[in-house]
Amino acid sequence: MNSLTIGLTSLLLATFLGAGVVKGVTGMGLPTVAMGVLGAVMSPLTAAAILIIPSCVTNVWQMLAGKDTLRLMRRLWLMMLCIVIGTVMGTRLLVVVDPVWSGRALGIALIAYAAYALFSPTISTSQRIEPWLSPVIGMVTGAVTGATGVFVIPAVPYLQSLGFQKDELVQALGLSFTVSTLALAGGLWVHGEFRLDQAGLSLLAVLPALVGMWLGSVVRQKISPKAFRRCFLLFLVVLGFELALRPFS
């Protein structure tokens, strides 16, 4: 575990402030940015433990900011259950795999998400196949979450394909991210990798994340969210390549 130096503290505050801004502007991206930046300077396992509390706080806020929470829970409960199972199982990989290779997997996940989001292919999932596809998506999302600490693949594209209205989609994403965060915390705890010192760093990151979200909401009123999102995704591509190619440098 990295000692709590001034440099590390400054990095944590800046990372979660920036990640909060991204979430405030785009409605998502806090765990993705935090894992990408912190994963470049520490093991993905440690980074995943640190993001637990700020991710949980901000995603619960997003999940409850609307009137469709209970209805979405009833519709997506099987997917959420499979996310939990897949995450707890997948976390074992984050614990036992060499940090260099788990960092490489994290980089590949960042690139895959950014590439999908940049091209934004229009995908539609029919209600006929949703009952059996949802648990499959949940298991795969859980496995990716457990192995890399990134919650977005393939849950985000799948939820976007279900035809939700804008506010419903924001809440559905908040629900998925909340479940993934709690499942990741559970998986790390089961494997003895969510310790008191990491919880302290995670708690420290909450305030800058919330301040960042507020700043992001202000920024959203002054710039094009579409242009901001494109720059953010290009940043993820660069960061992803840096992580993915590190074993060969």
Residue 79's nearest CA partner among 173, 168, 16 is: 173
Q: Give residue 242's pLDDT band: very low, low, confident or very high (50, 70, 90).
A: confident
How close are the terminal C-alpha atoms of the chain, in Å?
A: 24
Structure confidence at residue 140 (pLDDT) = 93
Any idea what DSSP says for residue 165?
A: -
Q: Give residue 234's pLDDT band: very low, low, confident or very high (50, 70, 90).
A: confident
Rounded to an integer, what distance in angstroms lies between the CA atom of residue 249 and that of residue 242?
10
How confident is the model over 123-148, as a mean pLDDT? 90
Structure confidence at residue 3 (pLDDT) = 53
Any idea what DSSP says for residue 66?
A: S
Rounded to an integer, what distance in angstroms lies between the CA atom of residue 96 and that of residue 195?
17
Rg of the chain over all Cα atoms, to the nearest angstrom? 17
Respond yes or no on whether the N-terminal peptide bond of residue 54 is cis (omega within 30° of 0). no
Structure confidence at residue 228 (pLDDT) = 76
Rounded to an integer, what distance in angstroms lies between the CA atom of residue 200 and that of residue 196?
6
CB neighbours of residue 36 within 10 Å: 28
| Contact in structure between 23 and 206 (CB atoms under 8 Å) | no
Structure confidence at residue 137 (pLDDT) = 95
How confident is the model over 218-235, as a mean pLDDT? 79
- Determine the angle formed by the axes of helices 69-96 and 130-148, rounding to 10 degrees: 40
Residue 247 has pLDDT above 60, yes or no: no
- Residue predicted with more confidence, 126 or 84: 84
How confident is the model over 163-173, as a mean pLDDT? 84
- Residue predicted with more confidence, 142 or 115: 142
How confident is the model over 171-175, as a mean pLDDT? 89
Residue 209's nearest CA partner among 96, 62, 57, 36 is: 57
Which H or E run includes 97? none
**Tokens standing for residue 133:** 């596809």
Percent of the chain with pLDDT over 70: 94
Structure confidence at residue 223 (pLDDT) = 78
- Residue predicted with more confidence, 180 or 163: 180
Q: Domains of the chain: which residue ranges?
A: 6-248
Which of 47-56, 167-176, 203-212, 221-230 comes out lowest in average pLDDT?
A: 221-230
Q: Residue 155, CB half-sphere, CA atoms under 13 Å: how many?
A: 32
Which H or E run includes 158? helix 155-160
